[in-house]
Amino acid sequence: MKTRQVLTLDDAREIGAAAESEARAHGWAVTIAVCDEGGHLLWLQRMDGAPPMSAQVAPDKARTCVMTRKPSKAIEDMVNNGRYAALGMPVMPLEGGEMIVVGGEVIGAVGVSGVKSAQDAQVARAGVLAVGATFAL
């Protein structure tokens, strides 16, 4: 059997706070979602002014990461490069979801929605780095 790290609620709060700080530093109103390795939502925060739809998109971006073991941008790139069948997968093919990787294992993900996709990803990465994790395998 393996022993592995798992996210706690305190971790999710720390990730959310760091992501919020990054968004505020740039004047971005976003929704931040943190999920565990099964794609179950641990934390959701919709900042004042964030688009209402972002509250659904952010968790979907996070789930995409844990389900595919890839950043959500990888799925967006697949679709943009003509692999339209990917649109039938139960994923959100938009940049802004980043894996939380510890010890080479995906233990969760952060999804952000509300601004340009690359900016969403920047906010998500700030959250991941706050807990000493990486966002790549």
**Span 102-125, pLDDT tens digits:** 999 999 999 999 999 999 999 999
What pLDDT sits at residue 6? 95
What pLDDT sits at residue 118? 97
C-alpha span between 31 and 25 (Å, rounded) = 15
Query: Confidence class of residue 18 from pLDDT cuts 50, 70 and 90?
Result: very high
The top-level CATH class assigned to 9-130 is alpha beta
Residues 6+ apart with CB under 8 A from 94: 57, 61, 72, 73, 76, 113, 117, 120
Task: List pLDDT tens digits, range 60-78.
Answer: 999 999 999 999 999 999 9
Residue 10, H or E segment: helix 9-25
Please tell me the pTM assigned to this model: 0.96
| Contact indicator for 30, 120 with CB cutoff of 8 Å | yes
